[in-house]
Structures are given as C-alpha cells and as structure tokens.
Chain A
Amino acid sequence: MATYGIQINGQSSTVTIDDPNTPLLFVLQEVFHLNGPKFGCGLGQCGACTVLLDGQPIRSCNTAVSQADGHSVTSLEGLRALDGLPNPDDLHPLQQAFVTQQALQCGYCVAGPVMYGYAFVRDNPNPSRSDIEQGLAGILCRCCSHTRMLNAIQSYAQEKSK
C-alpha cells in the first residue's frame, strides 16, 4: 500500500492504493469520481483521458498514479476554476466555444481537444489555424467534428487575445 497526495481540481486529496502502477485515470474515476477524463484506448493513443498535470496535458490512462504524487491534476470539470473564474460548475469559455460552435457529436473524445486546446492557446497566444491543428496532433475524434473543434478553439483564442 502506498499513499499519494494529489491536488484534484484545486482540492488537496490523498489516495491509498495497493499498486503504484494503477493508471491515474482509474483513480480519478473510481476514487475521485471525476467524469471528464474517459477511457478510450488505455494506450495513450487517443486523448479521451486527457487531464492537465501541473498545467500540462497528459494521458491519464497510461500515467501511473504514483507519477501524480505531489502534483496537481485538472480535468474538464475543473478548467473554469483553474482560471480563477467564478461559478466553477459553469462552462469554461473554451467549453462554451465548443457549445457555441456545436463542435461535438458523441462527445466522448472531448477531453482531448479541449485540454490540449486550452494548454496550446495558453502557451501560444494568437495561434493560426494550422498552429492549432498541429497543437492537437494525434488527438482522435471518431465522429470527425474536427472542423468545428478547430473553429471553437480558434474563436476562443481570438476572444482571449482581445
């Protein structure tokens, strides 16, 4: 048994678990009851499980829980609070852009484009469309809402740089 301290969406938390190799995703889902990161492939190949670890997007399905010890994790649910915005249960402006653009079909992949899109725009103000496309490289959306997702991220970036 090992105990790890992880800040989950701004709240200090601990988890005691038998296997340090347990994927962070399963801990987030089963112990902390997060719903934003989802199991897509378990191989780090699709992006559906993406969370921010100390602000950087990572695939939580193939990240061991032990690697999150002493770090902060932000999921879709906590994006708004991360930016210090009021009403944490409301949509973050990037999530709102996804709604405005109707940029989802099934929506299962959404943690990938939103979390990578968030970090990319934060680190690359005023990105071009092709910048954003490359910033999301490797993320999968099988319903193929790519165009609308890119529109949403671009409109968010433009709004943010105003």
Chain B
Amino acid sequence: MKPNKTFRLHGAEPLPQKALEALNHVGASRRDFLKTAGVMMIGFGAATEGKAQSTINPSGNVDVTQVDNWIAIGADESITVLSGKCDFGQGMRTVQLQLAAEELSVPMDRITLVLCKTGITPNQGYTAGSFSTWTQFGVGGLRNALDSARDALYQLASQWLDAPVGQLAVQNGVFSVVGGDPTYTVSYGQLVQGQRFNLTVNAKAVPKDPSKWTVLGQPIPRVDIPAKAKGTFQYVQKVRVPGMLHGKVVRPPALGGHVVSIDKTSVNGLPGNPQVVQVNDFVGVVADTEWHATNAANALAPAIAWTLGATFPPQANLYTYMTSQPSRDAYAVNTGDVDTVMAGAVKTLSAQYLYPFQMHGSLASSCAVVDVQGTGKTATVKAWSATQSVYDVRGYLATLLSIPAANIEVVQVEGSGCYGGNGADPVTFDAALLSQAVGKPVRVQYTRRDEMTGGEHYGHPMVANRKAGIDAYGTIIAWDSETFLMVHGEGPLAGFTFGGAPGPGNFIPGALAGFPTGKVVPTTTPAPPAPSPFWNFGNSVPPYATGNIGGVSLGTGTVPSQRSVTRLVESPLWTSYLRSPDHIQNTWANESFMDEIAASQNVDPVQYRLRHVTDQRLIGVLNAVVQQAGWDTRPSPKPGNARTGVVTGRGVSFVLYSGFDGYCAVVAQVSVDQGSGVITVTKVTAGLDTGPVINPDGLRNQMEGQVIQGMSRALIEEVKFANQGSGGFGGGAVTSFDWRTYRVLQFGDTIPQIDTVLINNLKVAPTGAGETIITLVGSAIGNAVFDATGVRLRQIPMTPANFLAAKAAQKV
C-alpha cells in the first residue's frame, strides 16, 4: 500500500462520525419500536439534546454548490447521500439510490440516502412541479454532485495507485489498475479517510453515458414497498415524541369568518385535560389523546361565535363571476398580429371551456408533530412534517412563531401522496401554533372535514376562451387564447403566481393567526411575455404555436400568429398548486379545441395535429402512441354511430409539459350510454418521451396512476360550495367535506385497460414524468366522447348530467 503523501483533501476537518451516525433514524427497527411502546422518534435531533443546527453545517444553510452537502464517505466505507428531493410514493427514494449507485459504481444497498432535513440536506426548495428528475439529473443537481465526487475520487486514486485516470477501473467502490495487479487496490474509504471533499460542484462533470447504465434504466423494485405492504412503514401520522399532546383545530364555519367570542368553559370537565388555544381567528384544542381532543373540538365548535364571513357567488354562476372580476393579466406569447390575421382568415372558430375547483384529496388526513420549546429568541422548534420543502416551512415557522430560523429544525417524514399543496404544510403550522401555546409537543391530525374544508388549498378553476383562424387550405394561421384562473393565498406560490409577498398568511392557518394574505393586484394592461426563452409553464400556449418571443421561437408548432393571455382573479376559496397546475386546465381546453378544429375541417384528429407541429420528439411520441393504440385514421365523429344507445369512440391528446419537461401523448377509447349519459373509459394508451428511462417499471406505475387519477378528475371531481342562508350564518362554506360529498374514482368504478409506451431516448437529458400523462386524460376522453356521440363536452367534470345537458344544448 502506498503512503498517502499525495493526498490532497487539504484543510478539511474530518466529517464528524456522530453526525453521520445521527443521520439514520433513531430506533428504526420494528422490534425496538414495539418495545418502546409506540414512542417513535425520528431524526438526528431526538437523541441529541434537540440541537436544531446540523453538526455537518452549523450555519444551517446547506447550499447545493458544495459536494460535501450531497455526499459523505466514511472511513468505514459508508456512503451517505443527501438530497433535497423527497419521496411521497412517486419513487424518488429508489430513483435517487439508483442514481447514486450508478454514478459511484457501488451497489444500492451500500448507500444511506438521507432526504429532506433542514441543516442536513441541500436546500432544493419544493419537491414539486414534475421537476425532481429534471433537477436531480440536471446541472447543479444530485447527479452533478455525485459526478464531481466521483471525479475527485478518480484523481485521488490516480495519485494513490500511480496510474493515469484512464487506466483505472472501479467496482463496488474499489479502484484497481486495468491490466495491473488485482490486489493493488484502494477503496473510497481509504482515499477520503473520513474527511470532506472541500469541492464545489463542477457543472461540467460528465455523467455516466446512459447507454452504459446498469442500475439506472433497470426496473429496480421500489425500496419502500415491502414495508408499506407489511404495514410497518411509518408515516408522519405515526410520529410520537415523549410528552406529546394531540391537537385538533376548529375552523370558521364560513370562510373568512372572525371570532366574536369563545366559551372556553365548553370543554370543562371533558376527559383528557383539554386546553383551548386561540390566536386571533386560529382556534384549536389540545388534549392527552386524539379521541379526547376530537371530542373536545366537537364540544368547542358550537361554543364559538363567528362573524358571517365572505359571501360566495352561487356555484352555478362561478364561471360568469370569474370573468367579471378585475384581473391580473399577463401574456405568455403575443405576436401582436392576431386580430389582423384573424380578420383575414377564411374561417374562424371559437369555444369556451370550463374547469372547476378540485381537491388534492389526499387519502391520509394531513398530520404533523411540532415541538416548540422555550420562549423568545432562545426558543427552539422541531417539526416532523410531510412537507415538500423543509427549508421553506422552516422560514414560515420562523415568521409564524417569531423564533429565529436557525433555531428551527424541520424533518420531512413521508405522509400519504400529496399531489401538490395539500394539507401537509398547513397542518404543520397548526401544530406549531398549538405547541407554542401549550409549551409541549403537539401532534395534529386533521379530521376529514378539516382536511377538505380548512386544510388543503384547491386547484384553480378556469374559464378558457379559445379562437382560431383558418386559411383556405384548412390550416390554422392564428391562435388566440384567454384563460381566467381563480387564486387565493396560493401557499408557497404567492410570489410565483401573482407576485404576492411570501409568508405564512398565504396558508389557511397563518391567515387565521393574523398574518397577511397576498391579494391579486389587478393590472390595467397585461404584462408582456417574459423574455426569451419561452418555457410555457401552465401550458397556456398550445403545441401548435411557434412560441415566438422576441423573434425566438421555442414552441413546438407552426402557427405563427399567436396570443395567449392569462387573467388571474381573486378567489373566495383557498387555492394552490394541484398536480399539473394550470397545465391540466389549459391542455383540456387546447386539446379539446384542436379536436373541434380538426372536426370542422373533416380531417383525422391525429393527422390534423401533425400538420401543425414541428417538434420531432412530440411527433415521435404521438406516432408511437397512436400506432400502439391501433388508431383508425378518419375524421371525427365516427361515421355510422347511432345517436341513441351505447356507442364507442376514440380520442387523442398530446403536449410538451411546461414547454420542456416531458413529451406525452394519450389515446382514450370510450363507450357512452347516450340515454344515461354515463361515459365508460375502456382503454387508455399513454406514451412518454422523457429522455432516458430511469426505471421503466416505476415510470409505468406513475403513468398508470396518472391515467386513473386523470379519469377521476375528468369525470367525477368538483368542489361544491354554497352560502349557508341568513338564518344561521350567511357566509360561504365548502360543502364538499368528505368522500361522499367529494367523490373520487374508487374500486368498483370501471378501471380501463391501460397500455403504456416508453420511448427510451438516450440522447437527451432526463425530464419529469409525474404530471405528464394526467395532463392529457381529460381532453383525450372528451375527444373520444365527441367521436362516439358527436357531443362536444366543454365542462369538467364530464358527468352524465353534463353530457345530457350538452347533448340537448347541441341538439345532437
């Protein structure tokens, strides 16, 4: 063995072994868990005096530019990989293990992967937007950091083994010289000696060639599924800490209601020593057990007098209300010639599409445990939360509790699937307010009603007006698009969505506690398109536009004259991002409208689309899907179908998600009972080109789930609300408060045959998949219904009643 005289990791402190050990869950084994009578503690701080700051990085700000913030190699050959992208069941834990194993040339089971803890893992913001794969495989992401570390290891090994890098081979974390003495080796642990890399991430580090992948690209089974199937996997709902109390919240019956008075004696004498907590309009109660807290909350609720709160528009008038409010307007594209070109068109078509408020409807009622210790600037906070961003939640908690962020530790523990901004962040703030008030750790698990009416923020409703101009050859020459969306609060997206100031008041509990909620500030003229490059977040610009901004065209289509304006209006209901936010609404409109145009030209819907797109990957995925689906090329509606009884049809939809993040296409086949209006989806063929396929089975799992969730949202889901009359209280309330009043697709409903098509495109960087297919399902079904029946559906959900109403109105 060579002496390590050329070892070059100068000036670095050894990585504290304790910190590494602490990265593992405390008391992780089931046996230990049972022995300690359900007292489970998660995270490094639980056993180490609750210190909020990482021993790895005392500043608490773990930035993504340092290799050491992503990877630690112990002298004992342990490999710890740290990431800021969480797993909610979409498989990111397994994918990131595959990635680390691939780039570091070690088996997956040698890697300890730590996800989403403040002060420990790199700050990568929210795990959302279908961006995790794109981020982790892109510049500045996990792969880049791993490759930077790998390159450093190669250089160290080259020095150690006295051989050029090009002659080194590495297997299972051990270097040897190709063609040399097989016992002349050095391991990662020997090279690093428990020290830090002290390197910045090299943006130019070259990832392993996907054509040589052995772990990535394989259908590796998800590492979390066995424990989930056995029932031993521990979600945030299972976190218990010593001395913990259970809390429940009591929300105003009408949104926007303020507390007039609270009779706190209403809980006197109830079991569990209930304590009522009020912070402005935030009201909750804590007790020793969840059941006692539930009963106390039920006793407390009628003992609170509230003001009437906000008045809602009648649900039936929602869409006309939306289009009559002052709005904040911005163009995504505007070539300035749309009115002129439209005026010269041989034919114009226009249509309006409607999309309701929808819920995340997470299966688990959201839950968090927060422990606020002490008061003032020396107080400390530890939060166990199913949040998508531990760092953002830390910031909101700092404001909410007036405690410095450096004293706050947030640990992400998986909850149920969230599909966006569900109740995970809000319930964390509820638990924090209660814990601060009672001085003990508090666990809050929402009731179903809490979750659905005062916990989660809903997806945006939409009114979409679309108009197209067509020339003498039947080609689209102008596309005009106006999209109204309704927003309120938006959680973490207040700034992104409408330029609002960030803060806890953009979430329901923070607003109740008195923090300001951002409001949509109307514009007098629409903001111009963002400067190039065009990226089409929200997919308001259809696949058919050139995406021309300032002379640079980065869209996927051919239509030169284009205008897309989005008008945001203030919502009476709380909103935030719901899986495929605005993309699903806009694509429902765009792809339904394109189908209308194709039908007006008596051209096959696939052929007509192909005439208006130029992007070869988009064309490729469409062709692959229609071929797999056995598409019969002909115009819609289907000739020969009777206008009574049960008929069948097929429809298509495609898009480039967000303008860069996943090429996707869907063909749906339906049968429609024209008497009852019941739409049955019989088969869905879904295809994706998201670059190199990282885990084919995981990808198919995501696609299949998106097909069915997309069906649920297209056919069934709608948040209902009402004014409650002047007798009790006059304000508006959500009347979808459980699974009967907010129906989603369930077992017993027809599940279609699902066929998935993967295009393993090795020549490009991987992009996201989590919000792709779902974006297309509604329009593909609606187009299939038109093909079958000649009835054009322009409103979600496509319920039997909406079908029958459309059939009658269109006199089909």
Contacts and interface: CB of A to CB of B under 8 A. Distances in A.
Interface size class of A (residues with CB under 8 A): 35 or more
B30 A89 contact: yes
A42 B701 contact: no
B38 A136 contact: no
Given A39-B237, A99-B226, A48 B708 contact: no
A113 B363 contact: no
Given A26-B290, A37-B231, A46-B739, 5 more contacts: A18-B271, A106-B416, A133-B748, A136-B747, A144-B745
A31 B11 CA distance: 53
A136 B417 contact: no
Contacts of A48: 363-364
Interface string A53-90: 00000000000000000000001110000000000010
B33 interface: yes
A138 interface: yes
26 contacts: A18-B271, A19-B291, A23-B291, A29-B238, A30-B290, A36-B232, A40-B448, A41-B738, A43-B738, A45-B738, A77-B231, A91-B229, A102-B221, A102-B698, A104-B222, A105-B705, A106-B415, A107-B228, A108-B415, A138-B747, A140-B739, A142-B361, A142-B419, A143-B705, A147-B754, A148-B701
Interface in B725-751: 738-740, 744-748, 751
Contact of A114 (B221, B229, B702, B754): B229
Interface in B703-732: 704-709, 712
Given A76-B231, A98-B225, A148-B704, A105 B89 contact: yes
A67 B615 CA distance: 63
Given A35-B234, A46-B739, A76-B230, A144 B363 contact: no
Interface string B284-313: 000001110001000000000000000000
B747 A26 contact: no
Interface string A15-28: 00011001100100
B447 interface: yes
A111 interface: yes
Contacts of B221: 99, 102
Contacts of A42: 365, 447-448
Nearest to B418: A106
Interface string A122-144: 00000000000110111111111
Contacts of A105: 89-91, 417, 701-702, 705
A85 B746 CA distance: 32
Nearest to A98: B229
CB-based closest 5 A-B pairs: A36-B231, A106-B89, A76-B231, A137-B748, A107-B228
A130 to B, nearest CB: 9
Interface of A: 18-19, 22-23, 26, 29-30, 33-43, 45-46, 48, 75-77, 89, 91, 95-96, 98-99, 102-111, 113-114, 133-134, 136-148, 150
A7 B586 CA distance: 54
B225 A99 contact: yes
Interface size class of B (residues with CB under 8 A): 35 or more
A113 B751 CA distance: 15
A112 B744 CA distance: 16
A108 B364 contact: yes
Interface SS majority for chain B: loop
Contacts of A76: 229-231
A150 B707 CA distance: 16
B580 to A, nearest CB: 14
A113 B747 contact: yes
Contacts of B37: 33
A103 to B, nearest CB: 8
A111 B707 CA distance: 23
Q: Which of B362, B414, B416, B447 has most A Cβ within 10 Å?
A: B416
Given A104-B225, A108-B417, A146-B747, A43 B704 contact: no
Nearest to A129: B751
Interface in B68-93: 88-91
A154 to B, nearest CB: 12
A106 B708 contact: no
B740 to A, nearest CB: 7
Contacts of B233: 35, 107
Contacts of B698: 102
Contact of B417 (A22, A106, A138): A106
A141 B363 contact: yes
A106 B701 contact: no
A162 B89 CA distance: 33
B367 to A, nearest CB: 8
Interface in B300-358: none
A147 B751 CA distance: 7
B697 interface: yes
Contacts of B445: 39
B530 interface: no
Contact of A41 (B90, B235, B365, B748): B365
Interface in B666-714: 697-698, 701-702, 704-709, 712
B527 interface: no
Contact of B364 (A23, A39, A89): A39
A82 to B, nearest CB: 13
B365 A106 contact: no
A137 B363 CA distance: 16
